[in-house]
């Protein structure tokens, strides 16, 4: 069985899509699964053993360009795919499998995709409360699975692979201490400060952890570097040497490896949070206006802290006004309690196994 998957364009969604690949492989170990996604996804897909090849989608997010999608689809005809899964809900995402002539094309109905998909699923949102359940459902016959409660349990959660040699080499590359346990902070988030735990709370937590012998590593993209600087500068001068701001300094693959090397991770609702969960790191996930109800971190080692309920819409312009009160109200002491509990449990598991 040769399978083409049209993958998502966001880090968190890409991580959750691995549950579909794991489910397909469990059903047919001989299945060959190729995933077409933006080029930046390759460092993630290369660490999913279920994926045979990552195929780069050359068109940017939101670009229709039907002629290029037709050319791309026709170029895949020689691959003789038996089946395609289309994970995004857009019209354009279903074009490549259609032009490739793949016989069975599976996906949720989305934007008027009649004809483009010939195994079309109609989404009843209350019946499928989690995105990962919607992805996994596509692996099953639609006449047998009618709601999330029909899915076989447990679900196969995302699970990235990183080896010990990579961990040591990458830590050394960035001059991180080999003899000091690391705690990773992911202080960035889309839409600016409104979805971020305040930098001064991160600094207070870092100060406590450094006093206990931990080294702090700050992760994120280039636009998160300034936030990392704020955290670092809020520390007492003698403690700053125990905190590395790597936001904007690592490639995605390097960040994945370094996160795998952390004893625990504290993160806002972000793509890096989902990566930390897939690496099975003890994780404290901090939520404010965004809700974990649809896309929570998928890990038994994750703890979610949120002081409000429901979904609170945050517009980009409003986000620049400052931190959301619900995140301000999450005290560093509360996060430290969850971390202590997770770290204690992780040490017990390491001793046991």
One domain, residues 178 and 212: yes
Q: How confident is the model at residue 322 (pLDDT cuts 50, 70, 90)?
A: confident
One domain, residues 200 and 348: yes
**Per-residue pLDDT for 353 more than 50?**
no
Residue 304, domain member (yes or no): yes
Enter the tokens of residue 333: 């002491």
Residue 159, domain member (yes or no): no
Residue 156, domain member (yes or no): no
CATH number for the domain harbouring residue 85: 3.40.50.2000
Query: Per residue in 29-54, is it b (16+ CB within 10 Å) or e — as a string?
Result: eebbbbbbbbeebbbbbebbebbbeb
pLDDT of residue 206: 98
One domain, residues 130 and 30: yes
Residue 316, domain member (yes or no): yes
**Among 127, 148, 124, which Cα is nearest to 136's?**
148
In the predicted model, what is the mean pLDDT of residues 111-121? 91
Q: Are 314 and 195 contacting, i.e. CB atoms less than 8 angstroms apart?
A: yes
C-alpha 21: how far from chain center: 15
pLDDT of residue 350: 37
In the predicted model, what is the mean pLDDT of residues 63-68? 90
Residue 158, domain member (yes or no): no
pLDDT digits (tens, 9 = 90+) for 87-111: 999 999 999 999 999 999 999 998 8
One domain, residues 177 and 101: no
pLDDT of residue 321: 60
Domains contained in the chain, number = 2
Rounded percentage of the chain residues whose pLDDT exceeds 70: 96
pLDDT digits (tens, 9 = 90+) for 206-232: 999 999 999 999 999 999 999 999 999
Domain end point (choices 128, 150, 172)? 150
Domain end point (choices 104, 124, 150)? 150
Which string of DSSP letters, residue by residue, matches 292-327?
SSSS----TTEEEE-SS-S-----HHHHTT---HHH
pLDDT of residue 192: 74
Domain that holds residue 282: 164-352
Q: Tell how strand 264-268 and strand 243-245 pair up.
A: unpaired
pLDDT digits (tens, 9 = 90+) for 256-284: 999 999 999 999 999 999 999 999 999 99
Mean predicted lDDT score pLDDT of the chain: 93
């Amino acid at each position: 069985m040769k399978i083409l998957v049209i993958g998502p364009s966001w880090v968190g969604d890409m991580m959750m899509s691995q549950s579909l690949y794991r489910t397909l492989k469990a059903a047919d170990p001989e299945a060959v699964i190729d995933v077409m996604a933006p080029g930046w996804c390759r460092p993630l897909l290369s660490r999913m053993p279920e994926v045979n090849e990552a195929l780069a989608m050359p068109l940017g997010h939101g670009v229709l360009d039907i002629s290029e999608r037709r050319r791309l689809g026709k170029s895949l005809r020689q691959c003789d795919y038996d089946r395609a899964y289309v994970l995004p809900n857009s019209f354009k995402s279903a074009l490549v499998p259609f032009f490739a002539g793949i016989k069975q094309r599976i996906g949720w109905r989305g934007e008027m995709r009649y004809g483009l998909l010939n195994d079309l699923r109609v989404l009843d949102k209350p019946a499928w409360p989690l995105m990962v359940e919607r992805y996994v459902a596509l692996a099953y016959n639609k006449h047998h699975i009618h709601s999330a409660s029909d899915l076989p349990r447990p679900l196969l959660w995302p699970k990235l692979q990183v080896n010990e040699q990579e961990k040591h080499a990458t830590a050394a590359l960035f001059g991180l201490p080999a003899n000091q346990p690391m705690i990773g902070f992911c202080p960035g988030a889309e839409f600016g400060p409104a979805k971020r735990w305040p930098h001064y709370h991160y600094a207070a937590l870092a100060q406590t952890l450094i006093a206990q012998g931990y080294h702090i590593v700050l992760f994120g993209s280039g636009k998160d570097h300034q936030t990392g600087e704020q955290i670092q500068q809020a520390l007492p001068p003698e403690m700053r040497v125990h905190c590395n701001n790597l936001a904007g300094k690592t490639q995605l693959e390097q960040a994945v490896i370094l996160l795998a090397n952390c004893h625990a991770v504290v993160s806002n609702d972000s793509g890096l949070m989902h990566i930390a969960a897939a690496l099975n790191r003890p994780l404290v996930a901090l939520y404010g206006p965004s809700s974990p109800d649809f896309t929570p971190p998928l890990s038994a080692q994750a703890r979610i802290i949120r002081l409000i309920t429901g979904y609170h819409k945050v517009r980009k312009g409003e986000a620049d006004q400052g931190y959301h009160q619900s995140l301000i109200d999450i005290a560093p002491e509360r996060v430290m309690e969850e971390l202590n509990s997770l770290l204690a449990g992780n040490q017990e598991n390491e001793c046991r196994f």
